[in-house]
Structure 1
Amino acid sequence: MKTVKIIGVPEHFNLPWHLAIDEGAFEDRGIKLSWTDIPEGTGKMCELLNQKETDLAIILTEGIVKSITEGNQVKIIQEYIASPLLWGIHVDANSTYKSLNELKGTTAAISRFGSGSHLMAYVQAKQMGWETEKLKFNLVNNLDGAIESLTTAKADYFMWERFTTKPLVDSGIFRHLGNCPTPWPCFVLVGTDEFLSENMTLVKHIQEIINTYTTEFKQIPRIDATLANKYHQKLEDIQDWLHITEWSQKQLPETMLLKVQDTLKELDLIDKSIPVSKILN
């Protein structure tokens, strides 16, 4: 039995992996897939990949592309979620901010530099016509850190996946001011170069299994109720999320990868674009 380490965020996007593990789909192929939740998100996952503390990851597209251009020895194996990620923009429930325009010049809470919450703050600022070089950040590590940061006014707003943060809005901790969808497919499956070079057949088995699960995922009876219960969401919110979310079973299109790099370069978040062949497996 070959042990393979994989990491991802503890969010509803990744339930197909947990179902496949629980049902023994990987073990049937001689693979012990060891999953670890990383609540800190993409910035932390990039570090773990760089340190070779994991073999695979389900990670945000823009975050891993930036990391690869900076020398992280990782390749994108395939697109995992084909649809955009809907980033909710949140303030403390007792904050005086009533519109996105009022956030100009304020401080954003981010989990880590190079994380989605960091990179998407630039995308959002550009869309609003703000000067991105004047953005200010407060490092908060994870969702609990963001709550503490906003409630103590160390930061003014926080961007995180809309549906993951919805319970905090419903409970009166955050107030939701708006959304910023990613301009590209949001999650990809990646692996370290070392692992991929030594285990290509095994990786193909893993792809076949997860792609079977994601193809059939929305057809699972009462999957909306399962998701709502497991991730502490309202049923109607999960139904809305399922409606806008599409899993993928193919490689990330080269045109989309070029768009990600062009956007990051335009925002001065990467120094240069690199050939597609150095990013895609």
Structure 2
Amino acid sequence: MPLRVGYVREHFCAPLLQFAAADQDKTFTLIECPSGTGQLISRLTNDEIDIAIALTDPLIAGIAKGSKAYKLVGSYVTSPLRWAVITGSKDSPYNQISDLRGTTLGISRHGSGSQTMAYVMALQQGWPTEDLQFQVNNDIRGLVNSVNDGSTSAFMWEWFTTKPFADAGSCRFIGQVLTPWPSWLIAAHPTRAAPSDLCAFLNGLSGCVRTFASPEHCAGPSAAFIQQTFGYAEDDVKAWLQAVTYPDDCAEIPAHVITDTLAVLQKAGVVTAPQGEIDLGQYVDASIAKLT
């Protein structure tokens, strides 16, 4: 039975889409999760997918809060994620991040990256994180609608994914926040898939990632693939490719990614500090991933 791989259809997943197209034996099938990491975690929990390629912070936060539905098995994107802070197109009174204090922020789901990054933004601004207020709006279109109908002040979403909406006049960018951690990890249910199948998937994905991220491909085929697949402007594609980095081996996870992310999440009040030292075995499936 093919592995069920959950993903968000964004430019970051270009190497995954190329891998799926080259998978002649159909060893895995892609399952789109447009609402983001919160939906990916929900589908892992509900036995709807076996693997999730998802944002680092919600994955780690979920395990810290006690989830047994998955463990980390690999890395996918090693550069930070650039989150735009986004408000309504015309009549919105918000023009800078400081204007958002005490307002209701839109998020896709509770436990999502959009919520976690709101806490990080609050930390940077010196706001009490316990004062943050949220409204769930499910996906990017619901979030854009909410800042225009006034039910929320702003929301946070990946910069280049949202830029076409801003370019079309549907919303406005009033700032940005970079993640203080590498942006994407790979998680899998601890017992649902055979370790050999997971290792084979990670090995194949690593090869596609290395090809996609190579300088010669970034200058030509990779840029063309993103433009054709996602319809992004050429200048936006070039800017993103210059900033993004992928791992050489998707089965490797640097231990500091977990500890550093947890340290920020604890400061933000997203998770509570553990008693004693952090047990990395709680987070990583050591039979699949290599801790470095």
User: One fold, TM greater than 0.5?
Assistant: yes
Within 5 A, what are the aligned runs for 1:31-50? 31-50=26-45
Pick one of 192, 196, 199 that aligns with 1:195. 192
Pick one of 85, 89, 93 that aligns with 2:85. 89
Q: With structure 2 as the length reference, what TM-score do the two structures score?
A: 0.90
Structure 1: distance between partners of 2:169 and 2:253: 38
Aligned to 1:247: 246
Structure 2: distance between partners of 1:35 and 1:104: 39
Aligned to 2:174: 177
Secondary structure of the residue aligned to 2:124 is helix
Structure 2: distance between partners of 1:228 and 1:127: 34
Pick one of 201, 210, 233 that aligns with 1:206. 201
Structure 2: distance between partners of 1:40 and 1:82: 22
Secondary structure of the residue aligned to 2:73 is strand
Aligned to 2:289: none
Structure 1: distance between partners of 2:66 and 2:4: 21
Of 123-132 and 263-272, more deviation after overlay is shown by: 263-272
Aligned to 2:290: none
> In the alignment, is residue 275 of structure 1 matched against residue 279 of structure 2?
yes
Count of residues in Structure 1 that have an aligned counterpart in Structure 2: 274
Secondary structure of the residue aligned to 1:194 is coil
- How far does residue 34 in structure 1 lie from its aligned partner after superposition? 0.8
Structure 2: distance between partners of 1:272 and 1:194: 27
Alpha-carbon deviations, 1:9-44, whole Å to 9, x = none? Answer: 11011111111111225x2xxx52110111100111
Structure 2: distance between partners of 1:23 and 1:203: 17
Within 5 A, what are the aligned runs for 1:229-248? 229-248=228-247
Aligned to 1:227: 226
Aligned to 2:129: 132
Structure 2: distance between partners of 1:209 and 1:62: 25
Structure 1: distance between partners of 2:231 and 2:29: 24
Provide runs of 4+ in structure 1 moved above 4 Å: none
Read off the aligned partner of 2:95 and give its amino acid letter.
K
Within 5 A, what are the aligned runs for 1:38-187? 38-73=33-68, 74-94=70-90, 95-187=92-184
Structure 1: distance between partners of 2:199 and 2:257: 23
Read off the aligned partner of 1:67 and give its amino acid letter.
G
> Percent identical across equivalent pairs?
28
Unaligned 5+ segments in structure 1 are none
Alpha-carbon deviations, 1:170-192, whole Å to 9, x = none? Answer: 00111111110110011011100
Of 68-77 and 114-123, more deviation after overlay is shown by: 68-77
- How far does residue 70 in structure 1 lie from its aligned partner after superposition? 2.3
- How far does residue 241 in structure 1 lie from its aligned partner after superposition? 0.5
Query: What's the C-alpha RMSD, in Å, of the aligned pairs?
Result: 1.3
Read off the aligned partner of 1:131 and give its amino acid letter.
P
| Matched-pair contact (CA < 8 Å) for 2:129–2:269 | no
Structure 2: distance between partners of 1:6 and 1:36: 6
- How far does residue 110 in structure 1 lie from its aligned partner after superposition? 0.1
Structure 2: distance between partners of 1:147 and 1:256: 31
Structure 1: distance between partners of 2:20 and 2:98: 45
- How far does residue 225 in structure 1 lie from its aligned partner after superposition? 2.4
| Matched-pair contact (CA < 8 Å) for 2:31–2:49 | no
Structure 1: distance between partners of 2:201 and 2:27: 11
- How far does residue 195 in structure 1 lie from its aligned partner after superposition? 2.5
Read off the aligned partner of 1:91 and give its amino acid letter.
T
Secondary structure of the residue aligned to 1:160 is strand
Aligned to 1:24: 23
Q: With structure 1 as the length reference, what TM-score do the two structures score?
A: 0.94
Secondary structure of the residue aligned to 2:42 is helix
Alpha-carbon deviations, 1:95-116, whole Å to 9, x = none? Answer: 1222111111111100001000
Secondary structure of the residue aligned to 1:193 is coil
Unaligned 5+ segments in structure 2 are 286-292
